[in-house]
Structure formats: structure tokens, C-alpha cells
Structure 1
Amino acid sequence: MTRYPEDSAGNERHGDGWLSPVPEGHPAAALLCAEAVRTHCAAVTEHVASGASERFTWHPDRVHAIADYVASTIRQRYPDLQVPYHSRWRHFESGAGDQRADRWQVLCERAALSGPEHREERARIGIDLVIPSVLLDAGAGPEWRYRDPASDAVLTRSEGLGAASFDLFARGGFSAAPGDPLRADAERLQRIDADSIAHAFQVAQHNPLVGLEGRAGLLRRLGEVMEATPALFGRPARLGNLYDYLKAHAVGGQLDAGFLLRTLLVGLGPVWPGRIVVEGVSLGDCWRHPAAPGGLVPFHKLTQWLTYSLLEPLEDAGLSVTGLDALTGLPEYRNGGLLYDFELMVPRDPGFAAEPHAVDEPVIVEWRALTVSGLDLVADCVRQALGLEEAQFPLARVLEGGTWAAGRRIAAKRRPGGAPPFAITSDGTVF
């Protein structure tokens, strides 16, 4: 059983320092974990596989073809099979073409933070950087571009968003401390507006970014939640203080991935706008589907993406995260697009891809649930194709190597500009 973050230290009274505490036994608690994502998605998948769905049919015979395509993608990108984690850090490394630009190393060197004696502060700064960047990582749209000032490279989609958010952070865009730019403070985040994001992300009439207001609102709300959650972020509230909370709750230098995810879900849950609320607790990226237990399917895509993205700064500071395969694949348009393009799931409506869909439509909820289940099946077959065990090649590496890249690869072959197979209306707060 995954520990509850607010109950896991004997000297913490339940709820102290938490904006929205979730005690064990609260009706929302069972949905705020990766186990719920996997089991609720499995229920929807069983519904579709039985032929009962009006929206999709399910074709598991396609799994091996998908796995072969993913395995070949991994071998092309990582011939030595030394695949890093799927995380936001890969986007910080994006350069022109296939070139790698290690922005983080350069930033640390310039700030004289490269030595082992600075590893804990590096972890805090890494957390300061990556949390806002992940929250800004929802789909950019097909027209947006970012010109990297350092290299003059033109970057798009997630790579562009990663570089733009990195540059904004490096300039002190999230800091409230004069002379100390490399931090993210609640005081500053609460003042972020759409114009600030537009300027930093080079948005113009000819260079539109999807969900601009939603992104700015998410950062402002993040600042508000930080200030109201001193258990995680301290006083004055800084995102990097999360490192100290996690260090205090590590056992023998190890953190369980489920504990890390639940900490983020409980601590950051109030950030998400306009979602389903159960007895005062927001369920975040959780949506309705009639075939799911209780009629709800949690995905927690951005929070799981954030969990994956915290692994590297935590490991740099000496904290290892165990039990990674308790987390799930991320149901978004690259992973889900790969499975859709290979016809693992096929829409019953031949006109499905012709019109954009809202994220809360049952057909999109169903596609995302099928994606989570499908990624587990594909991951097992990919490991077999590569001759690797799960411990050697956890899902976080399959995704990076991997299904996300393969989804982009097949999209580029099938559609101009590598667009997803269908459009989802986004406010910048889901994916």
C-alpha cells in the first residue's frame, strides 16, 4: 500500500501544512495513485475488448507490430540500449536537428554549482526548473515555433516549450529574489500573466501558442497552492524546498515512486482548474466513463510526467526512486497516436478524426484508457524484442526510447508536419 504523504512522518499531525489534505479512507484517496490509473483503464479496456463499446474496437493482435516498430526506433536512437528516463530533461537537451544542447550543464557551470558539494542545491534548482516547465508542457499546437537565442535553432512542440521555459527560468522569470535568479518562488509565480508567457515564448500573431491563458493561470495557481502548502514548499514558499521534504521521508536514501506520485497529487492537486471534486478534493486529470469503476478514470498524465521528470535531480542529490513500473504510460497524443496509427484501437465512427474533440468526451477518455493498457502490453513485447528484463528497462525507458519517439516517427510518415491523428481541444492544462 502506498504511504500517504501527510501520514508518513510521525511528527506531522494530519493535514498540517497541506491546502487539501487527503486522509486514508477519504473517497478521493483511492483515485490519487497510479494503481487506480492502471486498474480503471483496464476496466475500460475490457469493456472495449468485449465488443460492448460504441466508440472503439480493440485489436491486440497489433501489439507485436507496434513493439517491433518501437524496438527498431530504440535501436536507431540508442544503439547501445542505454536509454535515459522519459522526462522533461530530454527536452532541455534539444538542439538543431539531432544535436544535443546540454543547457543544464552550462547553467550549473555558469552559476558555479557543478561540484558534488552543491548537489543538494542543484536538486532544489532542478525542481524549481522542472515543475513549472512540466506545467507549461501541454501541446503547443502545429504553428508555434521557438528560436533558441543561444544557437539560433528553431524548435517546435515539446522541445520548443522545454527550451523556452528553461530560458525563462534561467533569466529569473520565476524568482522573487533579486540577485538569485535560479529559483521558483510562490510570490513571483502568482504574478505571472499571459503577456509574460507570450513574450518569453515568442508568441505573435504569426506564431500562436495554444492555451496561453490556461498556462499562465496554471502557474499563478501553482504559486497560490505553494503558499498554502508549507509542508512541502516551506515559508517563504519555494518549489525547490520539496527536495527537503522528500529527503526527510526517504528510507535509506530511497523513495518509493508511488509515494512521490501521491505527494505530488495531494500537494499539487488544487492547482488543476475546473475538474471533478470529491468531498473538497480535486481529482485532477480524472474523467467520466460509464465502463469504469465508479464511472471515473484517473490518468494523472502531467503529474506522472512530473514524477518521471524529478528522478534525475533527486538521483543527482543521492536519492534513488524505486518501484518505477508502478507508474503508468502517459496517455497523450504521441503514445496514444502511435497505438491509434497502428490500429490497436479503431474508432467505430469513420468520421472520428475529422473533427476536434474535447478532452472530457467519453471517446477521448476511452482512447486514453486504451492507451494506458496498450502501453503495458507493448512494453512487455519491446523488452522481449530487446532481450531485456523489466528491472533493466523500466517503462520510463520504454517510453523515452521508445513509444513517444515512435509515435512522432509514424506521425511524420503519415501526416504533413507530423500532426497527431486527430485533434483535441486544449486549454493547456491536460496535455
Structure 2
Amino acid sequence: MAAKLLCAFLLVITQLRLSFSAPGEVNSLQSVPDLEKSMYIVVDGYPCVRLLNLSGQIGCSNPGPGKVVAPIIRFKFANKLVRSSTILVSLDEFNSLLLRVSNDSNFARNIAGVLVESRTQNELEGFSPDKKFPQAEFAPYASKNYQWNPTGSGIMWNSYNFPVFLLSQSSTSTLQQVAIKNEKNKKAYTADVAEFDLVMQTTKAGTRDSESCLKEATCLPLGGYSVWSALPPINILSPESSKPIILAIASMDSASFFRDKSLGADSPISGLISLMAAVDALSRVDGVNDLAKQLVFVVFTGEAWGYLGSRRFLLELDQRSDAVNGLNKSLIETVMEIGSVGKGFDQGVKTFFAHTTGVKHSSLVDLKASSATNESVTALQLAQDSLKTESIKISTANASNPGLPPSSLMAFLRKIKASSLAESSLGVI
């Protein structure tokens, strides 16, 4: 749900009275709510919120327990701020603004809040608040400086002691007019201001990390419930099946600087939709009980925050908990993840890249993993051929890549190298 912020038109009392001196206008103010409506415009926006971990916090919030009120000024006219101000900034200039905040303490001290102008979805290309290598600390290889996300700025992992809102398109137009009006009235005694009421509960309670806020119940934990199912269904009352397991996985959530605006329809929700479509199609196939391998489908939650879902799933497998009753981790032969398939456009052609890897504990294990990997790639090629169209292509990833891209498979690969999942092959689309 879109959050609300108030754009207040602050007037001195004499002007307020004069503005309603025309015939008929005084009679229209029958109550305090009528007066408030004449002074305030509610502006639609999507907030950057505060998130906490064990070491501190990231995201945005009011600096204290009270509201923030400050006049609105466009970023291009904010070279030297002499008073607390609300900065209206375009999306193109947003990274530059936050970079200056990080490098100029005097400038940052006078920023009361930031309003980011909205643009159409097509104009958002090239904007990524994540790092150039998202969650690089979980990579099972040494090339942590590889740029899987070249346009990434990393701003969503910083902490900002002021509120930040992404405006709706209609509110963008309103605020641009307000800022222009303020620029024309520099010497006037009035100013149009923005009033922010984005006070997080953790700010009020003084709980500044996840451990303290969870203890005091001033925040909620990230993540939720991951879900798994199987075709054919696994009878947990019968002896464990000896069929090799093909694990197909996807993520159900994403991370963004403006959480309520960017829900991940392109990434990774498109992968989840594709996985569900595959499950639906396979459930209608005759003879699914006679398949030589057991199909298991898993949807993980919290993957954008340290692969919470997949790491918990692997822990449950180790503990043989009731949550994964019927699954034998030693039988997992192939893990296939469907990632961001919502964007694969290259001059009008949708190209899907298959990233694969095996495990090199021994020559025998490596041979088995390579065989399973080759079978998976061959199956993808056959699927492409069956479509009888040139609009969709499947290609193996460039061999120069250091390994798997940021994905849930990183959690699996780290586990494979240290456990009995050693004969698995991994692939991500």
C-alpha cells in the first residue's frame, strides 16, 4: 500500500486571513478539518523504510521521534543549503545526491527529507539500488569483484537519517510546481513545505539493531514460510523412495530501495510464475507416477536477505525435521533454479542463459555431475525446439563468468562442497 506524506502550504496568519477574504470563501470554512484541507495536500509516495540487522541498520527514517517539516527545493538549486530543506530530485540525479550526502557532512546536515520524482517503468532502465555483485559474501568462488549487476549503486544497503519517498507520477507534477513556486518567492515570508511523518517504531524505542528490536517487539523478522511440493506426491508413511531427486526452485520475494513500489515482477517473481506454470503442466501429464526421477519443487522466501529461505531449507534437511519429511538429501541429483526470466530482451529476441556447474570432489562424482548437467542443458534445448519459434532462445552462459550468478544455488553449492550433496549438478536460468 502506498504510504502518505503531507505537502503543507505554510502561510503567515495575515496571509491566511487575506486569502479567504473573498465573498463566499469564509463561509466555506465550517470546521478545523475544513481549515486543514485548505492548507494541506496529501501526496502519494512510496517510502524507503528502516531495516535492522545484528550490526546496525540500513534504509531511511525520520532522525527522531517527531515530524519533519522543511521547505521544498529542487536538487539542481541546492548547491549550498543554508537551512533545513526538502530536496526534490529526479531519478537520474538520485545517486549523485546520495553520493554527496556521504561525502559532504555540512550538506547532509541540512537535508530534512528527499522526494524522488517518478518516471514510467520503461524509463527506469539502468537504475539499480543493489550492489554490483549482490550478496557477494555468499559466492562460493574468489572473484568477489565481478560485476553481475554493472548498474548497481549499492544505495539500498546504506543508512540515511532522513525520510526518502518515491513520488507517484501525479504527485511528481504537483511537487515540481511547488518547488518552482518556492524558487520564485525567495524573498517572500512564506514557503511551501513538506511534512514527513515517517517515524519508525525502532526510532521511538531506541532499538537500533535486530537483536534489541526483536527483544522489545518493535520490529518484525524478515522472511516467512518457504513452500515445497512433489510430483508424484511423496507418501511419508511408506519406506523412502530411492529415486534420484530433481529439485526445481524459485524465489518468492525481492529487495528494493522503495519496497512498496518495486515488488519484483521482473525479478524474481517471473521465475516463480514460470515454475508454477511448469508444475501445473506436469501435473496434467499421464504416467507421472512412472517417472524415473522424483520431481520436487521449492519456493524460497527471504532470498534477497542472505538467502534465508534456502539456507534454512538445507538446515532442515540436515536435521531431518518434520518440515522436510520424505526428502532424502543424499538423493538430490540436480538442482535447477528459475531466476529472472521476465527480462531477456536483446533486439526483440528473448534469450535465456543457462548457468551450470558440477562438483569436483572426485573424478567419479565430477563425471556424474557433468552428465546430469549435460542432460539438463539438452532438455532445455529440446524444450526450445518444441516451441518452433525463433522468438525464444536458450544459450549456455559465457565461459568467462567466474561461476554461478547471485542466486539460491550459491547456498546449495556452499553446502555441497561440505556435505553429502556431493553428486549434485546445479543450474540456473
After TM superposition, the score normalised by the length of structure 2 is 0.25
Which structure has greater helix proportion? 1
Q: State the structure with more CA Rg.
A: 2
Which structure has greater strand proportion? 2
Q: Which has the higher contact order (CA 8 A, sep 6+)?
A: 1
